[in-house]
Amino acid sequence: MTSTPLRGLLSADVSVATAGVSLFADALRSQAVPVTETAWQPPLDGTSADLSVVLADPRREEANAEAFRRMTAAGADLVDVRPASEALGLEKGTFLHAGPPIEWERASGPLKGALIGAMLFEGLADTAEEAEARLAKGDGITLEPCHHRDAVGPMAGVVSPSMWMYELRDEAHDGTSWCSLNEGLGKVLRYGAYGPEVVDRLHWMNSVLGPLLQQAVRKAGPIDVKAIIAQMLQMGDEGHNRNRAGSLMLLRELLPALITADGSSDDIAEAVRFSGANEHFFLNLGMPACKLATMAAHGIPGSSVVTTMARNGTDFGIRVSGTGDEWFTGPANTPEGLFLGSYGPEDANPDIGDSAITETAGIGGFAMAAAPAIVRFVGGDVPFALRATQTMYEITVGEHTAYQVPILEFRGTPTGIDVAAVARTGILPQINTGMAGRVAGTGQVGAGLVTPPEQCFTGALRALASRAGG
């Protein structure tokens, strides 16, 4: 065999690619040598054995492809607005909450505040002190995650029987999901506030807004929420903390039926004003739309795709397609970002809410490149927003067929978080989120960026390894 001499190797310009620690790359750059650094880090600590088993599972590749196919094929049509007692079968004294299961003693300040407010709203207590005492005793009170009823709730996520819920359908997989109506910003129940203005607003939403929206949806619907998400990504929203375009498009669909609904002109005018002034009006429809997508991908043996990410203000929990309804939890991290008024980091509660279902389905923090203006609300800068989306491709199964990012040449958003990829790369999912005050009754204190704890993924990987086939 004859070899080809490496002619010109020493006379040509040198270009170097490196991986691992940056010391070598920095030394070359100091000598004006062009260097391309490969982003690399070792697997999460203690995962090597489990990772090798999961990666060798002969079912995994096909199972993940099927999970991705179902997730991206799922529909999401708004079909109704109904009270939770009717839609979810909630009984008096039963309260849903965001995140994995938790008991009152371990509940965070915002969750406790929201539960106190819900008790007052439902007439189960006359004062905050009485509500807290009953909740602490568990006197006729049941707490249950929203996800256990195929529902989702932003921030504290508290749902009581009298609250009205959006109802969305995925006809492709015969799925239904629900979410409460959005209260707006500031001192609201979902951020743990429970003052008279919060409870009064809930009563108005119960007696006026809910029934009017029900009439509008039944007359105008079904409304294709998935199509709105696809369009809002083209208009500068990312679907978690920026919903301006989505809210306006939703209102455009509802307005003709809303203004002709059976109600007083004053009530209709206030409902239109309230909905139009709320930039997060759409969030509570985007969340159950994403829930429908992840529900469709759940329960596939051998799949390492994450189908739930949720936080209750104390614990962060995930569920995985191939491990059924088991939760894998770790301590919730505290977001870092921008604060309102005089609030600071010491006022922020650890991460809370079911709204990370947006990232689980491929939007939110995974689509930040579509909404670079989001950094003005959650912190960071435009290069960070672009980099966040590009990095998430490293830990996902594929690119969404409907949700696209214009600045990335209309590349589909990174979709289908793979537990094995997270463990192998050490890259954790990027979430952007609101921040609730640590003390019950405070309300919102800011917005920021956060990642899940590693324990969620190492625990899930271990469970997947124990179930591996072949």
**How far apart, in whole angstroms, are the C-alpha atoms of residue 291 and residue 314?**
22
pTM: 0.91
**How far apart, in whole angstroms, are the C-alpha atoms of residue 190 and residue 187?**
9
- And the tokens for 344? 């600071």
Determine contact, residues 318/328, Cβ cutoff 8 Å.
yes
**Edge-to-edge strand list for the sheet holding 336-339:** 336-339, 444-450, 431-436
Q: At a CB cut-off of 8 Å and minimum separation 6, what does 271 contact? A: 208, 209, 212, 213, 258, 263
Helix, strand, coil distribution of the chain in percent, nearest 5: 45, 20, 35
Let me know if domain 76-287 sits in CATH 3.90.1710.10: yes
Q: What is the pLDDT of residue 380?
A: 82
Q: The dihedral of CA 48, 387, 242, 396: what is its sign?
A: negative
Number of Cβ atoms within 10 Å of the Cβ of 151: 29
CA 150 to chain centre: 14
Map residue 32 onto helix, strand or coil. Answer: coil
* Cis preceding linkage at 222, omega within 30: yes
Within the chain, all domains assigned CATH 3.90.1700.10 are found at: 48-64+298-467
**How far apart, in whole angstroms, are the C-alpha atoms of residue 223 and residue 242?**
20
As assigned by CATH, the class of the 48-64+298-467 domain is alpha beta
pLDDT tens-digit profile, the chain (470 residues) = 455 555 555 566 666 766 555 566 667 666 667 766 555 678 888 899 999 999 999 999 999 999 999 999 999 999 999 999 999 999 999 999 999 999 999 999 999 999 999 999 999 999 999 999 999 999 899 999 999 999 999 999 999 999 999 999 999 999 999 999 999 887 899 999 999 999 999 999 999 999 999 999 999 989 999 999 999 999 999 999 999 999 999 999 999 999 999 999 999 999 999 999 998 999 999 999 999 999 999 999 999 999 999 999 999 999 999 999 999 999 999 999 899 999 999 999 999 999 999 999 999 999 999 999 888 878 888 999 999 999 999 999 999 999 999 999 999 999 999 999 999 999 999 999 989 999 988 888 989 999 999 999 999 999 999 999 75
Q: What is the pLDDT of residue 200?
A: 97
Q: Which residue has the tokens 């936080």?
A: 311
Q: Which residues pair with 167 in a beta bridge?
A: 80, 178
Within the chain, all domains assigned CATH 3.90.1710.10 are found at: 76-287
Which of 190, 242, 202 lies closest to 352, judged by CA? 190
Q: What is the pLDDT of residue 186?
A: 79
Q: What is the pLDDT of residue 221?
A: 81
